[in-house]
Amino acid sequence: MIIPRTLFLALGSLVAAVAMVLGTMLWLALRQPSPFPANNLDGGERLMQYGTVPDFSLTERSGESVTLAQLRGKIWIADFIYTSCTDTCPLQTAMMARLQAEFIPRTSIRLVSVTVDPERDTPSVLSEYAAAHNADRNRWLFLTGQRDRIIRLIQDGFHLAVASLPNGAEPTGMIPHSPRFVLIDQNARIRGYYDSRELEAFVRLKNDIETLLKG
């Protein structure tokens, strides 16, 4: 059966349109702020609360386990990256390095980078990546672990978008994930989301860290 050229062109246009719509939907999903309801528990001038980070256990680049309990009592900033990423991850990591440099005297602050590509981002790979960015082992953690645990933590715990893969599937190409930083207080409460692509958001993040330090 020979498909008429006009029908062939029409089908091509339809496929392109569907791909564009799906791409836009994904972009919007990653860009949207958390749908989790915010509660202004601290009054007009204080920070919002967006729920509490659930318990977790992941593996740090040192090979040691890191749990939520070990971060309680600390102010921490989380982001989600992977070492082979060429999209937003280099910017996110550069901004985390800036936070490390600016808050060196503040021993109550931790930086936490969680990989969304745990199959390839082993502790040794994360160690090399961390060393390349002069990450302080005691202040800036790089975490990996089982993919399903990481996906569940990002989606259900931090209320952010990340691409899920079928069981046993290997990631190929870009791994879509949220480019946002998340600010967590000493009681594991989420206090803010900040888009790494927006300078204004980064300034707001630093100001909000100072607010928590004063609190």
The residue extents of the domains of the chain are: 57-214
Closest CA to 154 of 123, 112, 121, 186: 112
């860290």: which residue's tokens?
A: 209
For residue 72, pLDDT beyond 60: yes
Q: How far is CA 130 from CA 19, 111, 134, in A?
A: 36, 12, 6
Share of the chain above pLDDT 90, in %: 72
- Report yes or no on whether pTM surpasses 0.85: no
Are 183 and 208 in contact by the 8 Å Cβ rule? The answer is yes
For residues 111-133, give the mean pLDDT.
97
pLDDT tens digits along 167-213? 555 666 789 999 999 999 999 999 999 999 999 999 999 999 999 99
Superfamily of domain 57-214: Glutaredoxin (3.40.30.10)
Distance CA 130, CA 140 (A): 9
Mean of per-residue pLDDT scores for the chain: 84
